[in-house]
């Protein structure tokens, strides 16, 4: 019998009317656990609890907030192997990747513990004699968090930690597909000493729980990570709400990795393989467009093919696995659909792209590498969100930069080169929020801002001290001496 994991509302675990199984994509015969499927009334109860807890928590001693977040960080780090295994079982990342993501969550919690003590303001002289000005930051209110399935603990952590550090109360709706890691994180935070109602989790369908969150007048702000189409609906709902809600969106990417003739071939191949295919390519920062100049193109494709042949696709929990399964049948179907689209458009499926069978039933896909791709093809323009990459052949750096920027997205970009001139020019002229030189496009630090441009992001940046721009509101106060 599997355990039923309940919603947590107003400091209590609430028995669900129904629950849904959380399946292991490496072995669909295994149920990780049964997780509550909440509804509109659950969401309303959670918001009411968060609203009631807000006045006291928003004015609480920053030492208390530091203590809670540090205690939670310490528990996450102490349990990283256990929590990493849970993550890998429910999402399909390899076990080392799962443990790495849990470690990142612990680091995020400790960073924002210190941020609770670093929130400061300004004293400014007025242009009017005898008038003093104070500029301070205050908590926003009840924050609604909607998180995706591809980073089941890191993204909840980097939304929850700043929200709590700056004095907000929270209702989180994790991805319906992988609720386990977020549930464990909420449990840890609440046991670390959060007062009743400060943090609530309501699991369930986005069309039900997420929509109710968008429509609730007492939710002051929404932070969402997911698809562009859903992000647009979230933004429209927040603007249309009464009162209007503050909104932060992190959405898709179609990230370019430029490889120039002068690149170190081994470095370029590792950057491309890691960025495009690790974590099963299920990262918004994945290098799905490999833009390669003609002098190195053929050698790069040959070396990439050899690298792909050496990658082991298997059960995420097995030692030696490089790439785990796709997260579920629906996502696997989408990956296969785009592989078919690429062939129909005239691109060459150079290697891979086949569904694989392993010891246990799961959603296994051989990494796919396309060549003979131009930037007008759908596989070069639309986010696939799987282990599928397209090589685009270009003449020189100038064409590579133009192709890299010719996209509706602008999250991450990269360049492999030994030229300081081209590296410097690319950093300045790439139309992306994050730029990497001789590094994979996926992989950022927790203490610096995360986010992009164009259709990839909307609103203030996430992570680092820049997170305060979303999770606080600025107050300007005048005093006549």
Write down the catalytic residue from 250, 336, 383, 462.
250
d(CA 166, CA 18): 34
Omega before residue 243 within 30° of 0, cis: yes
Q: What is the maximum span of the chain, computed from C-alpha positions, in angstroms?
A: 79
Contact present, 181 and 153 (Cβ < 8 Å):
yes
Sequence length of the chain is 481
Query: Distance of CA 329 to CAs 64, 273, 363, Å?
Result: 44, 24, 6
Q: Is 284 a catalytic residue?
A: yes
Q: Report CA torsion sign: 439, 444, 445, 447.
A: positive
Q: Is 250 a catalytic residue?
A: yes
d(CA 34, CA 156): 20
Residue 132: CB atoms within 10 Å: 14
Which neighbouring-strand residues pair with 437? 415
Contact present, 107 and 156 (Cβ < 8 Å):
no
Q: Which two tokens stand for residue 455?
A: 């259709």
Query: Distance of CA 92 to CAs 168, 176, 279, Å?
Result: 32, 15, 8
Q: Spell out the residues 6+ positions from residue 175 whose beta carbon is closer than 8 angstroms to its own.
A: 147, 148, 149, 152, 182
Write down the catalytic residue from 75, 284, 336, 383.
284
d(CA 381, CA 377): 6
Which residues are identified as catalytic? 250, 284
């Amino acid at each position: 019998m599997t355990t039923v994991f309940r919603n947590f509302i107003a400091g209590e675990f609430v028995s669900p009317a129904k629950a849904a199984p959380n399946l292991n994509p490496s072995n669909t015969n295994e149920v990780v656990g049964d997780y509550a499927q909440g509804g509109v009334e659950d969401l309303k109860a959670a918001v009411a609890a968060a609203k009631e807890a807000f006045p006291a928590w928003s004015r609480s001693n920053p030492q208390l907030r530091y203590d809670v977040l540090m205690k939670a960080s310490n528990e996450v780090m102490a349990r990283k192997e256990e929590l990493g295994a849970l993550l890998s079982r429910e999402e399909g990342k390899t076990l080392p990747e799962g443990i790495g993501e849990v470690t990142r969550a612990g680091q995020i919690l400790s960073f924002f513990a210190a941020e609770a003590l670093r929130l400061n303001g300004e004293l400014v002289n007025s242009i009017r004699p005898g008038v003093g000005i104070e500029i301070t930051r205050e908590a926003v209110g009840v924050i609604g968090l909607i998180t995706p399935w591809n980073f089941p603990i890191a993204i909840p952590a980097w939304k929850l930690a700043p929200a709590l550090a700056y004095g907000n109360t929270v209702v989180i709706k994790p991805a319906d597909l992988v609720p386990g890691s977020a549930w464990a994180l909420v449990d840890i935070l609440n046991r670390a000493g959060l007062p009743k109602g400060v943090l609530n989790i309501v699991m369930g369908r986005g069309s039900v729980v997420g929509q109710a969150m968008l429509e609730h007048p007492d939710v002051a702000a929404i932070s969402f990570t997911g698809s562009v189409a859903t992000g647009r609906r979230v933004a429209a709902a927040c603007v249309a709400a009464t009162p209007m809600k503050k909104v932060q969106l992190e959405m898709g990417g179609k990230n370019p990795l430029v490889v120039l003739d002068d690149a170190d071939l081994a470095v370029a191949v590792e950057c491309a393989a890691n960025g495009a295919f690790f974590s099963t390519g299920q990262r918004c920062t994945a290098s799905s467009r490999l833009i390669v100049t003609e002098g190195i193109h053929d050698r790069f494709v040959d070396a990439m093919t050899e690298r792909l042949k050496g990658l082991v696709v298997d059960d995420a929990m097995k030692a030696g696995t490089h790439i785990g399964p796709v997260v579920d049948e629906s996502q696997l179907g989408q990956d296969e659909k785009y592989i078919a689209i690429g062939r129909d458009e005239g691109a060459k499926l150079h290697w891979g792209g086949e569904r694989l069978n392993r010891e246990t039933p799961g959603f296994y896909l051989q990494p796919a590498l396309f060549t003979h791709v131009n930037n007008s093809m759908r596989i070069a323009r639309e986010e696939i969100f799987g282990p599928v990459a397209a090589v685009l052949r270009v003449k020189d750096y100038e064409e590579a930069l133009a192709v890299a920027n010719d996209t509706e997205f602008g999250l991450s970009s990269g360049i492999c080169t030994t030229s300081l001139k081209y590296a410097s020019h690319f950093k300045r002229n790439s139309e992306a929020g994050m730029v990497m030189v001789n590094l994979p496009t996926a992989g950022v630090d927790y203490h610096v801002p995360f986010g992009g441009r164009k259709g990839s992001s909307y609103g203030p940046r996430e992570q680092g001290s820049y997170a305060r721009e979303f999770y606080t509101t600025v107050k300007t106060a005048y005093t006549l001496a």
